Amino acid sequence: MLKPDAIQRAIAAEILARFERRGLRFAALRMLTVDPTMAAKHYAVHKGKFFYDDLVKTITASPVIAAVLEGPNAIAVVRSMVGGTRPHEAAEGSIRGDYALVGLRNLVHASDAPETAEAEIKLWFPEGIISYIRDIDRWMSEDKAPS
């Protein structure tokens, strides 16, 4: 999910382009304003933490872009492209390491495991995602030589 700061700073398309260029395939894309109920569901795992209220306020403040990205090792690839939670510790070359300064303005939310990805996809895309293959996918996704 591109958080409100990504859109307000007009770098949303640039961030999405990084994922696309890496080889990941969009399986769903949606722009919306998050209401507090959805924010509470999305961030349920953080309830009770010191930053929880700020997190909910921040993600509901302005529209976001939710996306589902598919590809081999998509979760690990996206997490590594996004970089560490605290931007001042995020690797240079990562999205947070290149574009962000502080934790509440770290631009992107990325699912951290298959289980959270599944729950988050259901939450943000109740109508489902779109399954398709691009012709170029075999040039990026096939990890074996043709027999």
Q: Residue 28 — φ and ψ, nearest 5°?
A: -170, 150
Name the token pair of 52: 């929880």
Is 109 a residue of the active site? yes
What distance in Å separates the CA atoms of residue 6 and residue 10, rounded to the nearest whole number? 6
Cβ 111 to ligand CDP shortest distance, Å: 9
- Which one of the spans 10-18, 103-111, 121-129, 131-139 is the region binding ligand CDP (CB under 6 A)? 103-111
Closest CA to 29 of 39, 16, 10, 42: 16
Considering the rule CB under 6 A, would residue 20 count as an interface residue with ligand CDP? no
The SS3 call for residue 131 is coil
Bridge partners (DSSP) listed for residue 67: 29
For residues 85 and 65, the answer to whether their CB atoms sit within 8 Å is no
Considering the complex, what minimum distance in angstroms separates the CB of residue 143 from ligand CDP? 27
Segment interacting with ligand CDP (CB under 6 A) among 63-71, 104-112, 122-130, 132-140: 104-112
- 80 binds ligand CDP, rule: CB under 6 A: no
Binding site for ligand CDP (CB under 6 A): 46, 51, 55, 85, 103-104, 106, 109, 112
| Catalytic residue positions, numbered | 109
